[in-house]
Amino acid sequence: MSPIGIAKEKEQLLDDVRDVLSSTEELINATADEGSQHSKELRKRVAEKLKIAKARLWEAEQAMVGKAKVAAKATDQYVHDNPWKSVGIAAGVAFLLGMLVSRR
């Protein structure tokens, strides 16, 4: 799988986790006044774990953004340092993609 495909899958996974966390938070808030003492304690523990999960998700997002910025800077620097080599690589990749597409 290509790096772009992996990045899209990671982003989709992060979106899914955000949706689950949001839904769980809504459920906790909607049932806050209902139930026995045991269910209230359970809701409190789930709310604490939800808070931890949100913090970890935020950290993961920040790390992913940081890595993407570093990769973009490195690519930009390489292209500026080696413009003709970069053009040659791009032409070679385009040629290979053209060959693969034309076979179908």
Q: Look at residue 3 and tell me whether its pLDDT is greater than 60.
A: yes
Reading the block at residue 15, the tokens are: 């979106």
DSSP-derived letter for residue 33 is T
Closest CA to 65 of 22, 10, 13, 18: 10
Helix, strand, or coil (residue 31): coil
Q: Look at residue 8 in the predicted model and tell me its pLDDT.
A: 75
Q: Is the pLDDT at 103 greater than 60, yes or no? A: yes
Q: Report yes or no: 50 and 28 within 8 Å, Cβ to Cβ.
A: yes
Smallest Cα–Cα separation from 61: which of 23, 25, 13? 13
pTM above 0.75, yes or no: no
- Give the start-to-end residue ranges of the domains of the chain: 3-103
According to the model, what pLDDT value does residue 81 have? 92
